[in-house]
Amino acid sequence: MAKAQATSRLHSISFSKRELTGALGDSVTVLPIVVAVGALTELSLGRMLLGFGAFQIVWGLWYGLPVSVEPMKALAALAIGGALGARELAVAGLLAGVALVAVGATGSLDRITRVVGEPVTRGVQLAVALILLRTSVGLGAGDPALALAGVLAAGSAVLVGYRRASALVVLGLGVALALRSTGVPTIALPSLTLSLPGAAGLTASALEATAAQLAMTVGNAAVATALLLSEYYDADVTPDDLATSMGAMNLAAVPLGALPMCHGSGGVAGKHAFGARTAGSNLLLGGIYGTAALATAAVTAFPMAVLGVVLGVVALELARSAFGTDNLPTTVVVGVLGVVTNVGVAFVVGVGWWMVRDRFNVGG
């Protein structure tokens, strides 16, 4: 039934101006993080953009809907903050892929959601926001005047009513400054070679990061995204469907150098708010990412202070979402613990507390 719906929706695909602006609405949740990972780690920006472009197209055609494809933010934040190396990041992405395929195949997502608890998931989200904010401050301190220019650019976007696009505005400022330094970048196709991370990447940090990411993925990327697709497009897409597609995506893309990816309610909401109504927005955005992947040399000259402001804006948006919790003390404790210790420990402690709370009706 769901596949028949998807096939029917493909007949009404559109490439209108609204679909283009909708595509840009999804990029708000992607480009700032991807550029930061490309600038601060050894991952290839070109390969990452190709990964996002390819799967925007794949899932747009598969679901026949403006489905989002976003970075796995917990893993990306830990890589940006230096807590995960490239091999550990790849291992965490592959482990998350295996777990999501298994969850989707067994239909066990509802049970996992009940055990984890929404405030714990929000707490992990808050921890990720705080890690990004800490990195942001460190980068901005290197050139306070340039960081201030970035803050003014973001503030101007907010004042004229484009809060969601404020990170893209600052990103545009950084790209302009980088191009002034490097000139027009040369066109180069990123190499796509299969590279498995090996046993060296299977560390405690990778396992902890995987657990933390899955906590966010279950709530935001599966359950909340399915609800929005139903609300906006009357689509019969289940959380288990989304878990399976996210798992398959990472198992296919991470060995080729892609950043671990997921669906996400923020990207779906962004596409809808900016006008997307068909899978045409996915095809357009896939083309944009693919084109951008050919000219990424300027990232080496991207001003670190401006990048710090970009990460700060992303961090504030994540924190804003995290504070939408229905149990603020639990969320704050998990979030702070994630920064003081690490996100994996915070997740385990949070889940343990939530199970005790439910078992003995503590605070309820």
274: Cα separation from own chain's centroid: 18
> How many other CB atoms are there within 10 angstroms of residue 208's CB atom?
23
Per-residue pLDDT of the chain (364 residues; tens, 9 = 90+): 455 556 666 667 889 888 988 888 788 778 889 999 998 999 999 999 999 999 999 999 999 999 999 999 999 999 999 999 999 999 999 999 999 999 999 888 777 777 778 888 888 889 888 988 999 999 999 999 999 999 999 999 999 988 878 888 898 898 899 888 888 777 878 888 888 888 889 999 999 999 889 988 876 778 778 878 988 888 889 889 999 999 999 999 999 999 999 998 878 888 888 888 999 999 999 999 999 898 887 777 889 999 899 888 888 888 888 898 889 999 999 999 988 988 888 888 988 988 888 777 766 5
Residue 2's pLDDT is what? Answer: 57
Quote the CA–CA distance of 123 and 347 in Å, as a whole number.
8
Helix or strand run (H / E) with residue 172? helix 166-182
6: Cα separation from own chain's centroid: 24
Residue whose tokens read 């949740």: 29
> Helix, strand, or coil here: 71?
strand
Quote the CA–CA distance of 334 and 338 in Å, as a whole number.
6
Residue 68's pLDDT is what? Answer: 92
Give the number of residues written for the chain.
Answer: 364
- What are the distances in angstroms from CA 3 to CA 64, 91, 242, 244? 9, 32, 13, 15
Residue 2, both tokens = 């769901």
Cβ–Cβ < 8 Å for 236, 2: yes
Residue 1's pLDDT is what? Answer: 45
Cβ–Cβ < 8 Å for 169, 28: no
Residue 177, both tokens = 């400054």
Bridge partners of 262?
70
**pTM score:** 0.85
- DSSP codes of every residue in 196-248: ---GGG--HHHHHHHHHHHHHIIIIIIIIHHHHHHHHH-----HHHHHHHHHH
Helix, strand, coil % over all residues of the chain, rounded to 5: 75, 0, 25
Residue whose tokens read 């296919």: 252
